[in-house]
Amino acid sequence: MLSSRVRLIPRTVRLVHSLIYNSCHSSMDLKALLFSLNDFASLSLAESWDNVGLLVEPSPPHTVNTLFLTNDLTEEVMEEALQKKADLILSYHPPIFRPLKHITWKTWKERLVIRALENRVGIYSPHTAYDAAPQGVNSWLAKGLGVCTSRPIHPSRAPNYPTTGTHRVEFSVNGTEDLDKVISAVKRIADVSVTSFSTRTDDEEQTRISLNCSQEALIQVVAFLSQSRQFYQKTEILSLEKPLLLHTGMGRLCTLDESVSLATMIDRIKRHLKLSHVRLALGVGRTLESPVKVVALCAGSGSTVLQGAEADLYLTGEMSHHDVLDAASQGINVILCEHSNTERGFLSDLRDMLGAHLENKINIILSETDRDPLHVV
């Protein structure tokens, strides 16, 4: 009897452990989850050419118990996601980029959509929104360089202007009668806000009018002011800019606290990306012992982002042949690691950050079959 009871203990422990684990995660409605994901990294940070957000949506309501993370959604990865009962796939790269004219079994991307809908699995892609985010892919890539300070190569701007309108128009008015007439006229123009304040010019009291207006309203404002030579000659038109966002944008320019040799930097990058090989183009006049103090990096494809950046080293996944030649001719070393190798490792950090951000309400798992399609042989 005693031995029988002893054999039952491990099974009981496993059962209790399973119940505890399952109770740690509840679920989220898809719409609530999408709101939280956008709060984590706003899709407004993505490049205008990108295709981000919810790409495939099962018919509502849709409950998400398991969020599945992958860098690329291939058919092999989709099979894994289905086996692991994923309810939403977060694919860093959007599997749908160019418009699909039909959904058939003919091409692999169409098959992804069919299988997702048949199995009630959503597909979400953040792509360049995660590139730009302060806690995103490029910041993760910079962690492998050593202690450094970094800033975006191309800073992102806020999605909205700090005030209403895209332009500010300022001019001065003499006399109360003219002031009332002007303010009354401009207030009748749509998308215009008006403020005024007193000024003194050449011992003469004046009222300075400041208008914030849209691009469309600006045409009407200028047309009105041009009717009076007095106003038109004293008018200033300012184009308002959206404010820059702190630590947010494409690429990173990283300045190391202490210079290291290029050979040391290569070892650090390999270790961080878990790679045995990288591709290296030595800058003209450089050797493996040349010092590296400033690194310009861009996860994925860096040709456009890195162009013109002043650095000792460019680090990215891929660049065109001629862009590599241009950089090398300027004495800039170039390290290429293959496109997704500079991105995929971020997903481990993302899993932890999303777990905390979502308060562990859902199960978050990483793909085990996702990998870069290129191998050194």
Q: Residue 204 pairs with which residues in a beta bridge?
A: 201
Binding-site entries for a divalent metal cation? 93, 131, 339, 343
C-alpha–C-alpha distance, residues 195 and 183, integer Å: 9
CA distances from 354 to 15, 41, 181, 368 (A): 28, 10, 57, 18
Distance of CA 205 to the CA centre of its chain: 51
What is the pLDDT at residue 232? 60
CA of 82: how far to CAs of 65, 100, 119, 161, 375, in Å? Answer: 13, 23, 8, 43, 26
Task: Give CA–CA dist 315/306, Å, rounded.
Answer: 9
Evaluate whether 28-127+346-366 and 167-239 have a shared fold: no
The pLDDT value recorded for residue 157 is 93
Crossing angle, helix 108-118 and helix 75-83, to 10 degrees? 10
| DSSP structure string for 212-279 | EE-HHHHHHHHHHHTT-HHHHTT-EEEE--PPEEEEEEESEEEEEEEEEEHHHHHHHHHHHHT-S--E
CA angle 360, 361, 367 (to 5 degrees): 70
As its CATH architecture, domain 28-127+346-366 has: 3-Layer(aba) Sandwich (3.40)
Top-tier CATH class for 167-239 = alpha beta
Q: Which two tokens stand for residue 22?
A: 């399952």
pTM of the model: 0.83
Rounded to whole angstroms, the Cα distance separating 69 from 86 reads 10
DSSP category for residue 340:
G
Pairing, β 66-70 against β 88-91 = parallel
78: left (phi over 0), alpha (psi -120 to 50) or beta: alpha
* Domain residue ranges of the chain, discontinuous segments joined by +: 28-127+346-366, 133-156+246-336, 167-239
Phi/psi for 160 (5° steps) reads -125, 155
CATH code: domain 133-156+246-336 is 3.40.1390.30
User: DSSP label at 312?
Assistant: S
Q: Taking a C-beta distance cutoff of 8 angstroms, is the pair 238, 275 a contact?
A: no
- Tens digits of pLDDT across the chain (377 residues): 333 333 333 433 333 333 334 445 689 999 999 999 999 999 999 999 999 999 999 999 999 999 999 999 999 999 999 999 999 999 999 999 999 999 999 999 999 999 999 999 999 999 999 999 999 999 999 999 999 999 999 999 998 888 888 999 998 887 666 788 888 888 899 989 998 888 877 777 788 889 999 999 999 999 988 887 776 667 899 999 999 999 999 999 999 999 999 999 999 999 999 999 999 999 999 999 999 999 999 999 999 999 999 999 999 999 999 999 999 999 999 999 999 999 999 999 999 999 999 999 999 999 999 999 998 88
Query: What residues contact residue 279 under an 8 Å CB cut-off, 6+ apart?
Result: 335, 336, 337
Report the DSSP pairing between strands 333-336 and 313-318.
Answer: parallel
Question: What residues are designated binding site?
Answer: 93, 131, 339, 343
